[in-house]
Amino acid sequence: MTRIAIIGGGFAGTWAAMSAAAEREAHGANDVEITMISDQDSMCVRPRLYEGATEAMMVPLRPLMDEIGVELALSRVASVNATSLELESGDTIAADRTVLAAGSAAQFPPVPGAKEYGFQIDNYPTAQRLDIHIKNLRSEDAATRTIVVVGASFSGLEIATQLRCRTDDSFRLILIDQQDRAGASLGVSLTETVETALKEAGVTFLGGLTISAMTHDKVTLSDGCEIETRTVIFATGMKASPLTRSITTSQDRSGRVEVDAHLKVATHETIFAAGDVASAWADPSHRSLMSCQHAMPMGIVAGRNAVLDLLDVDLSEYQQPFYATCIDLGPFGAVFTNGWNREIVKTRQEGAEMKAQINTQWIYPPSPEIGRDAIFEMIRSQ
**What band does 321 get if pLDDT is binned at 50, 70 and 90?**
very high
Long-range pairs of 293-298 with CB within 8 A, sequence gap ≥ 24? 293/323, 293/324, 294/320, 295/10, 295/11, 295/12, 295/15, 295/101, 296/11, 296/12, 296/15, 296/363, 297/15, 297/382, 298/12, 298/263, 298/274
Average of per-residue pLDDT across 279-288: 96
* Structure confidence by residue, pLDDT tens digits, 155-167: 999 999 999 999 9
Long-range contacts of 245-250 (CB under 8 A, 24+ apart): 246/79, 246/80, 246/81, 247/80, 247/81, 247/100, 247/271
How confident is the prediction for the chain on average, in pLDDT?
96
For residue 78, give the H/E element and its range.
strand 77-80
| 84-112 mean pLDDT | 96
CATH 3.50.50.60 fits 2-106+238-321+371-380, yes or no: yes
Q: Which pLDDT score is estimated for 248?
A: 82
pLDDT, one tens digit per residue, over 106-154 is 999 999 999 999 999 999 999 999 999 998 887 677 778 899 999 999 9
- Residue 164 burial (10 A CB sphere; 0-12, 13-18, 19+): buried
pLDDT at 137: 87
Domain residue ranges of the chain, discontinuous segments joined by +: 2-106+238-321+371-380, 114-234
CATH number of the 114-234 domain: 3.50.50.60
* C-beta separation of 12 from 295 below 8 A: yes
- The predicted model gives 100-110 an average pLDDT of 96
Q: Per residue in 14-60, pLDDT tens?
A: 999 999 999 999 999 999 999 999 999 999 999 999 999 999 999 99
Q: Is the pLDDT of residue 90 over 90?
A: yes
pLDDT cut 90: percent of the chain above it:
94
What's the rounded Cα separation, in Å, for the pair 264 and 97? 10
With bands split at pLDDT 50, 70 and 90, how would you rate the model's confidence at 331? Answer: very high
Kindly state the percentage of the chain with pLDDT values over 70.
Answer: 99
pLDDT at 266: 87
269-295: average pLDDT = 97
Under the banding of pLDDT at 50, 70 and 90, the label for residue 349 is very high
Which pLDDT score, from 0 to 100, does residue 382 have?
87
Q: Check if 2-106+238-321+371-380 and 114-234 are the same fold.
A: yes
Tens of pLDDT along 240-265? Answer: 999 999 998 789 999 999 999 999 99
Q: What confidence tier does 202 reach under pLDDT thresholds 50, 70, 90?
A: very high
Residue 99 pLDDT grade (very low, low, confident, very high; cuts 50, 70, 90): very high
**Residue 273's pLDDT is what?**
98
Query: Could you tell me the pTM of the whole model?
Result: 0.96
